[in-house]
Amino acid sequence: MNARTAVVDWSGNYEENCIQLGKHLGKNKIRRKLFDAIYGRGSKARSKKQLMIATGLKAGDSQQAQNQLDYLARYGLILRDKNGGSVSDGSHYVFSKEPHVRAHRSNIMKFADKPALAKKTATKRNQVIKVVTTNAVTRSALRGKKRLDVLYLMANPIKRHALRVDAEVSKVAEEIRRSRFRDNIALHQSPAANLDAIIRGLNDHRPRVVHFSGHGNTSGLAADDGGIKRIKRQFVSFETLGRAFRATDTPPDVVVLNACSSAGARSALLPSAKAIVVMQDSISDVGAVAFATKFYGGIASGQSLKSSFEQGVLAIESVSLSEVGTPALFTANGVNAAKLTLV
């Protein structure tokens, strides 16, 4: 089984970083031309001469181009490396994209184009306080909403790769309690889950969402065998899971597999579910908890499945940039995730 891995958080000062980089980028025409050229198509590092040709700068602009490239490198907007022979025009240095700047280029340019936005953006140093009023949800309005039962399965049977599934469900429950339609959502927690727990949960609660949090691989999930003194994992294949869902009169609408490399479940589960959320690679505890918390926060606020999924991805981006592409949302034929709401 793949283990969730620890990650380094670049985004502890995300907004502040974007504001400062935008301030340094500024509106200087030559600087912006060079910046745009570096972050255009292609991933190879280029020399100043190549960048001048790409931007249409003339020979008389050579010193200004050099000054602006040095400026961009000094403030971390681009990378500057010695030319190790990758470019054969005699240049001493080559310039390339900085990964975090590339990932957040649009936000950085937003602050560069509109510096006044910085004062309105909350950061650790500038804590902008906004008073938001919301309309109260009446009991009659709640009665008009659909009830949502969520079967939240958790398994953590691999000691050497212990997961914080308890912290995950705790944060999800707190997010739901803060949501607009909290009274219409029931979160049925099933720790140390195995195949028996899945079937009992389907029979007892008839959940419209089934969630699994734990270890997984491309073929199935690591469930718990229920042992006390000696815990062993019980492997549940995706085919078995799919048969369990089809063996009930009310299969779940949505299945969420917050487990590593669970994308292999797509063909086994979609015939019975309207949509599934899976992980296409290994996922860290940090990323898994962030995704689940905001995903269910969106669901519990009446957002569509698509918007809730995107909120979960955004939450991953704020804590683990390298895992943004890990979650995936797949729907059955004829199902539009943008129009599917669960409460």
Looking at the predicted structure, is the pLDDT value of residue 258 above 60? yes
234/337: higher pLDDT: 337
CA dihedral 270, 285, 291, 330 (to 10 degrees): -20
Q: Is the pLDDT of residue 221 over 90?
A: yes
Q: Give yes or no on whether 13-118 and 140-339 have one common fold.
A: no
pLDDT > 70? residue 228: no
User: What mean pLDDT is reported for the chain?
Assistant: 88
Where in the chain are the domains? 13-118, 140-339
Domain at 13-118, CATH class = mainly alpha
Fold (CATH) for 140-339: Rossmann fold (3.40.50)
**In the prediction, which pLDDT does 24 show?**
93
Which one is predicted more confidently, 122 or 296?
A: 296
5 pLDDT higher than 50: no
Confidence of residue 138 (pLDDT cuts 50, 70, 90): low
Encode pLDDT of 166-219 as tens digits.
Answer: 889 999 999 999 998 999 999 999 998 999 999 999 999 999 999 999 999 999
Is residue 57 predicted with pLDDT exceeding 70? yes
Give residue-wise pLDDT tens across range 265-307.
999 999 899 999 999 999 999 999 999 999 999 999 999 999 9
pTM of the model: 0.59
Whether 101 has a pLDDT exceeding 60, the answer reads: yes
The residues pairing with 106 across neighbouring beta strands, listed in sequence order, are none
- Is pLDDT above 60 for 148? yes
